[in-house]
Amino acid sequence: MTTERTQVGIVGAGPAGLLLSHLLALRGVDSVLVENRSRAYCEARQRAGLLEDGTVKLLRATGLGARLDREGLEHGGIYLQFAGERHHLDFLGLTGGRAVTIYAQTEIVKDLIEARTAAGAALHFEVTGTEVADLDTDRPVLRYTDAGGHRHQVVCDAIAGCDGFHGACRPAMPDGLLQVVERSYPFGWLGILAEVPPSTDELIYCRHPNGFALHSMRSPQVSRLYLQVPADEDIDEWPDDRIWAELSTRFAVPGWELKQGPVTEKSVTPMRSFVAAPMRAGRLFLAGDAAHIVPPTGAKGLNLAVADVTVLADALTELARGRGTAAADAYSDACLERVWRASHFSWWMTTMLHVAGDAMDEQLMQSQLRYVTTSRAAATSLAENYVGYPPLKSHFI
């Protein structure tokens, strides 16, 4: 076994882990990042693709904006559709000029891996046997076996668990410490990527008696569409023709047509709300999906991960420079405030737009949608949450 030394050990090469290593490097803090998947897998994994304005500002301010500015699609609002009518919400007008940007998570991961690799960072893919230990000391240890079969031990000042919901870090927290609050929903999303120009200029969130549908996009040539289906739905029940027919039914409004094209990818994702607190035990800090999951309606997952590591980078910089633990001590509470705001918003958007309950639910949700599309106060509340609340603050922006 080889013993090495770094300041921050990072587990996971998703957006949280990669961005954390980037932010730390900009502040002169070393890290070693390990990931059990291959680089190709990390760069291909399809996730959401909607960035809050604070996320975009942070990426730009930290040198990650070049391709995002060329290829990202800025959206100043969304459409909400129900009872066969489509309504526009103007976020720019409602929030004093804040917008969101369509830029896929996989593209951010590619940009980050490229930037970190160019900077000579220690990124280790396809590792096995990842373990974190000595978390209650000020020299926690990260152990892993590299792709060549060699065992390593990395002595750190702190370890960041950015390894997702199924990762090894959350289970390494001391027994009895974590309070877990969770809910699963009786439906999931069947998502497709299709090689066809979007049939809309901005996203359409649609409530239909058959269930929710969402028209999103990845580029001027590629559409991303979702259908509410039962949580345990078998994807084989959904040949492409059936998907397009159902999308056309749910999105139908007079004088508008859904363009169809080759489906290049399809999958069913279950939906849950999950929060594990505190997000820190000793020198182990959880960030992103390792600590919390939101249902995808409103696309908060990636933005929450970015917000977590923005706070964490500051806290770990202070720790690594020997400037005390005040920021580290404040980390969990600071993140959880935003996590719960986003959890509420995602739950609210999900329940408002999905069909699951009885006739009473149907009327309540339609009333809520009518309120949001007719009252400026209600629309403003949706808009400020959608573009990101509270607005992201950091050392960099």
Q: How far is the CB of 278 from ligand PHB (least distance, A)?
A: 28
Question: Under the criterion CB under 6 A, does residue 216 sit at the interface with ligand PHB?
Answer: yes
Question: In the bound complex, what is the minimum distance in angstroms from residue 353's beta carbon to ligand PHB?
Answer: 10
Active site residue 300: yes
| Comparison of 49 and 211: residue with beta carbon closer to ligand PHB | 49
Site track for ligand PHB across 48-87, x = CB under 6 A:
xxx-------------------------------------
Residue of the chain from 15, 164, 296, 388 that contacts ligand PHB (CB under 6 A): 296
Give the C-alpha distances (Å, rounded to integers) separating 96 from 76, 84, 265, 371.
Answer: 11, 30, 37, 21
Residue 303 or 310: the one with the smaller Cβ distance to ligand PHB is 303
**Residue 296 designated active-site:** yes
Rounded (10°) angle between helices 301-320 and 15-26: 40
Would you call 357 helix, strand, or coil by DSSP? coil
Would you say 34 or 225 has its CB closer to ligand PHB? 225
Specify whether 205 is catalytic: yes
From candidates 299, 336, 352, 379, binder to ligand PHB by CB under 6 A: 299
- Enumerate residues 248-267 that contact ligand PHB by CB under 6 A: none
Q: Does 98 bind ligand PHB (CB under 6 A)?
A: no
The residue number with the shortest CB distance to ligand PHB is 216
- Minimum CB separation of residue 49 from ligand PHB in Å reads 4
Nearest of 10, 52, 37 to residue 302 by alpha carbon: 52
Please pick, among 75, 124, 215, 292, the residue that the annotation labels catalytic. Answer: 75
190 touches ligand PHB (CB under 6 A) = no
Closest C-alpha to 35, from 172, 167, 133, 165: 167
- Pairing mode, strands 77-82 and 204-208: parallel
| Stated length of the chain | 397
Q: How far is the CB of 189 from ligand PHB (least distance, A)?
A: 8
Site for ligand PHB in 99-158 (CB under 6 A): none
226 belongs to the catalytic site? no
From the CB of residue 300, how many other CB atoms can be counted at a distance below 10 Å? 27
Give the nearest distance from C-beta 147 to ligand PHB in angstroms. 31
Active site (annotated) includes residue 75: yes
Site for ligand PHB (CB under 6 A): which residue of 81, 297, 343, 385? 297
CB-CB contact of 247 with 218 (8 Å): no
Closer of 106 and 153 to ligand PHB (Cβ): 106
Under rule CB under 6 A, which residues in 224-243 are in contact with ligand PHB?
Answer: 224
Residue whose structure tokens are 């370890």: 159
* CA–CA dist 230, 248 (Å, integer): 19
Instruction: For the segment 157-186, give every residue that binds ligand PHB (CB under 6 A).
Output: none
CB 211 within 8 A of CB 246: no
The Cα–Cα gap between 373 and 367 comes to: 10
Does 298 engage in binding with ligand PHB (CB under 6 A)? yes
Q: Which stretch binds ligand PHB (CB under 6 A): 33-41, 293-301, 357-365, 370-378?
A: 293-301
> CA–CA separation, 341 vs 315, rounded Å?
22
Cβ distance to ligand PHB smaller for residue 206 or 299 = 299
Q: Which residue, 10, 119, 17, 103, is CA-closest to 63?
A: 119
Q: Quickly list DSSP for 166-202.
A: TSSTGGGSPTTT-EEEEEEEEEEEEEEEESS--SSSS
End-to-end CA distance of the chain: 41
Q: Which is nearer to ligand PHB, 144 or 251 (CB)?
A: 251
CA dihedral 161→164→167→171, nearest 10 degrees, is: 70
DSSP assignment of 95-157, as one string?
HTS--EEE--HHHHHHHHHHHHHHTT-EEE-S-EEEEEE-TTSSS-EEEEE-TTS-EEEEE-S
State in angstroms the smallest separation of the CB of 78 from ligand PHB: 8
Query: What amino acid positions are annotated as catalytic residues?
Result: 75, 205, 296, 300, 386
> Residues in the site for ligand PHB, rule: CB under 6 A?
48-50, 203, 214, 216, 224, 296-299
